[in-house]
Amino acid sequence: MPHLRPVRALAAALTFAFLALASAASAHASTVWLCRPGLHPDPCTPGLSTTVYSPTLVRKGVAHPKAQANPPIDCFYVYPTVSDQKTGNANRHIDPVERSIALYQAARYSQYCRVYAPMYRQQTLAAITPGGPKSSSALALSDVRAAFADYLRHYNHGHGIVLIGHSQGAFVLRELIARDVDPKPAVRNLLVSAILLGGNTLVKPGPKGIGGDFKHIPACRSAHQLGCVIAFSTFDAPPPKDTYFGKPGLLGSPGPKGDIVLCTNPAALAGGSGVLDPIFPSAPFYPHSTLAVGIALLKLTQPRPNTVWSSEPGAYTARCVNSGGAHVLMITAQHGAQVPQASPTSQWGLHLLDANIALGNLLSIVHSESMAYAAQSQAAA
């Protein structure tokens, strides 16, 4: 059984982590890259070998996907709150927990894009628990904006861009897109898609999924659509009234009148139900971390094969639903698959599974978008 103190720390950390958003940019040293082509080691390029399992975890075989040679797109990833440093704001030293989260959430995209992931000074778990050290909420956004400017200036070279973020990372990217992508046509034209998971992305009601956070960037309704947003938070039971996800505003607080939280089903972008393709790293999350406690609370047994990855295609279906005013991606176990438990509380639903429960579907979308971007670029040449 996990100790109570780490569980409480996790719940408090997740509850207040998103408050790291801020509007002011600050002076910034050179970017520290967690992942970038040419880095050694690079946690975002671990290999692609995958053991495939049935929903009941019966081994079915091994796949050896090939990374796309010279992909026309890059992926820019912002990780969620993970730091167990004891200071108010994390420094930009790469700790094992950042390597673990990069493996879990970003590395598999290296099949179809070059992955860039900056370190940034997020609020630590210590700072956002009662009695913790003081911290500055202005640093996360300013660091990521500076890193994105660095990426555009020195590494982009006209490639399409997929922006990927989860939790605090998604909230930071919402602000970055609103400031540095949406109002700037030259940058917006590079946007392949934004994958904003567990971040309460706001839109106006209606089929286009636009307005709210962004004026020019709509929801993705097709795997070939470019310049669009995929956003969802996963639950497998109706969210409680005080849910942190699916309702406008940070952590369910009141948002702008008329806005709703966007839900796009990665298994059926046009709407309806679809079958999910979960993909997980075979290596366990860094065990000496608070986040590892939260993952254990999901009560899922993951296989540990010799390959880098394991997948369980067909284990779950998903549908976007409006449950008590919360727009969420509702997950249903199929064919004897394990039923995950909400972690750390029912208010969070399956937040800690957001990035992996549909990773295979998201990869398929990114692949299709990559081909569409390449075709568009060739036509414009």
Across 28-42, 211-225, 313-327, least confident range? 28-42
Q: What is the predicted pLDDT for the residue at 208?
A: 82
Number of structural domains (the chain) is 1
Angle CA 204–206–210, to nearest 5: 45
Burial of 297 (0-12, 13-18, 19+ CB in 10 A): buried
- Give the pLDDT band (50/70/90) at residue 16: very low
Q: What is the pLDDT of residue 52?
A: 98
Q: What gap in Å lies between CA 160 and CA 142, rounded to an integer?
A: 23
Tens-digit pLDDT profile for residues 72-84: 999 999 999 898 8
Which residues form the domain of 127?
A: 4-380
Order of strands across the sheet that contains 274-275: 234-235, 326-333, 316-323, 274-275
Looking at per-residue pLDDT, the higher value among 140 and 123 belongs to: 140
Strands 33-35 and 114-118: antiparallel
* DSSP E strands, 92-169: 114-118, 160-166
